[in-house]
Structure 1
Amino acid sequence: MSLEVAGVEFGYRRHSVLEGIDLTVAEGAFCALLGPNGSGKSTLTKILARILTPRTGTVRFAGRDLLRIPRREHAKTVSYVPQSSEAPFELTVREAVLLGRTPHIGLLPTARDWDVVEAAIDQLGLAELRHRHLSELSGGQAQRVLIARALAQEPRVLLLDEPTSALDLRYQIETLRIVRTITRERGVTALIAIHDLNHAAHFCDQAVLLHGGRIVADGPPAEAFDAETLGRVYGLEVRVERSGDTVDVRPAELGGAPGADRPEPLGRP
């Protein structure tokens, strides 16, 4: 059951944001959506989440067009992690994560609903914060609550819009590890809009590079990351180093003195 995006186009009046997006992500794959600001990666995740409506195109999963099925059915299939939280501040962490069970709950949450909530809280390292209010959390902690809420939804498709941007390095890595584990153990298809090319190369099965609203590269990171293409997309000369199935992207060293510090990987804040 692949996620199949066909002919998706989106824009605001005369301004085109996405043009002719055709994309297939296999069941259980972890796919990175990459590209500079304004390339369309966040817009694509919002279309898949049905926050935005495309001008044309279809998004199919398990034989159904996700853009046209009832909203409740869509919510049982797809969960979305935005860049920031808009949940009411008076909610506790536990209550906020319970919101992810909304598509599944009848009149009242069941014991299983609470079990799923507690499992998601533990998985994101939030156990000590479960009774804290969201207003008391740091930005990074609140972002992890959003991810826990999405996991509590038990989706078949997980969408993440730059979820690691507010996290320190430790929690960036832990979050990406968690998502990769979920895709492999539960067969969840995940798409993440992300800036860090090397994080994408290390954790993701598929890399989709967008530029000017179009897909310019698509495949395993070791194949999709080409120095010439990346240089054109980011406007920066880069070096792509490969070792087996691993790949590392760095800015080219321009006029560096011997022994100079090695530059940081491209895309890492």
Structure 2
Amino acid sequence: MEGFGVFHRDVVLQARDLCYRPEAGVTLVEHVDLDVRAGERLAIIGPNGAGKTTLMRMLCGMLKPGNGLVHLDGESLDRLPMAERARRIAVVGQSDQPDAQLAVRDYVGLGRIPHAGLRRRSDDRDVVLDALERTGLLALRERRMGSLSGGERQRAQLARAIAQQPHLLFLDEPTNHLDPRARGELLEFVARLDIAVVTVLHDLPLVAPFATHVAVMSKARLVALGTPRETLTAALVREVFGIDVLRLPHPDEHDRELTVFDVPIRLSR
């Protein structure tokens, strides 16, 4: 890994020697180095308790590392003013609880708060309408957030993040509580945004179709970093997750493979 002394313009995010251990607790993240470049989609995967969410929270500035540094666009993340950080980074978390009475249009408009005073209000309205249109929510803009389905609410959260016009988007397990088709549609939409994305994913079959790069966490350490083909090997998946992975020819697309994760379920007869 290159140090902070060498910075490439297409590198959006750099992390070096990230560690986190709460007081009187076990180490949650230990000595993680990684880079995220413009347009890349990095999926952070690993079993429960591996340190995935803790790592993501340090990368986006929600949690101060116990050791190590994070640079955003070549600048130290912890030295950026909060407003400037919010203009560059958007976060969609698991615990987001929008006001149920808020109109979808007004909720998405919250993404413009970091830009207050920097643009005309008419420009902000155009950005919000564009975010609603891109997420397929334009017809629902007057609906209350509490009336939306789980998938619609997820898209509203994405629309709010898009309205921030960030350089980098963080998603913490964005496919939770969605049915299989909605999961695929959500990640397909995110992939079309053409910005750098860092996401924690639990659903392994979705990783290879979505991610350009994968960070595999195990026991607080980064044990693999690379493309899906480089990281989702049979040996590594078996070692980290305790399951087998099979690669099969795609029945319709000859230049693609199907990745099948074989989860052992043994029932007594």
Q: 48, 72, 89: which one pairs with 2:59?
A: 48
Counterpart residue type for residue 153 of structure 1: Q
Judge conservation of contact 1:9–1:19 (CA < 8 Å) in 2.
yes
2:4 matched to which residue of 1? none
TM-score with structure 1 length normalisation? 0.86
Distance (whole Å) between structure 2 residues aligned to residue 107 and residue 22 of structure 1: 35
Pairs within 5 Å for 1:112-261: 112-183=123-194, 188-236=195-243, 238-241=244-247, 246=257, 248-251=259-262
Distance (whole Å) between structure 2 residues aligned to residue 111 and residue 228 of structure 1: 55
Judge conservation of contact 1:85–1:142 (CA < 8 Å) in 2.
no
Q: 1:136-173: per-residue Cα shift (whole Å, max 9, x none)?
A: 22333222211111111110011000111122223222
1:37 matched to which residue of 2? 48
Q: Identical aligned pairs, as a percentage?
A: 36
Question: Which segment drifts farther, 60-69 or 93-102?
Answer: 60-69
Counterpart residue type for residue 139 of structure 2: E
Cα 1:12–1:246 change in 2 (3 A) is farther
2:3 matched to which residue of 1? none
TM-score with structure 2 length normalisation? 0.86
Distance (whole Å) between structure 2 residues aligned to residue 126 and residue 6 of structure 1: 39
Q: Which runs of 5+ in 1 are unaligned?
A: 256-269
Judge conservation of contact 1:143–1:166 (CA < 8 Å) in 2.
no
Pairs within 5 Å for 1:16-35: 16-35=27-46
Cα offset for 1:116?
Answer: 1.2
Distance (whole Å) between structure 1 residues aligned to residue 187 and residue 265 of structure 2: 32
Judge conservation of contact 1:79–1:155 (CA < 8 Å) in 2.
yes
2:82 matched to which residue of 1? 71
Judge conservation of contact 2:102–2:144 (CA < 8 Å) in 1.
yes
Judge conservation of contact 1:117–1:152 (CA < 8 Å) in 2.
yes
Cα 1:225–1:42 change in 2 (3 A) is same
Question: Which segment drifts farther, 105-114 or 152-161?
Answer: 105-114
1:258 matched to which residue of 2? none
1:9 matched to which residue of 2? 19
Structure 1 runs of 4+ with >3 Å offset:
242-247, 252-255
Q: Which runs of 5+ in 2 are unaligned?
A: 1-9, 250-254
Cα 1:242–1:223 change in 2 (3 A) is farther
Cα offset for 1:253?
Answer: 7.1
Q: 1:232-263: per-residue Cα shift (whole Å, max 9, x none)?
A: 11123x023166664513116789xxxxxxxx
Distance (whole Å) between structure 1 residues aligned to residue 90 and residue 44 of structure 2: 16
Cα 1:110–1:222 change in 2 (3 A) is same
Cα offset for 1:5?
Answer: 0.8
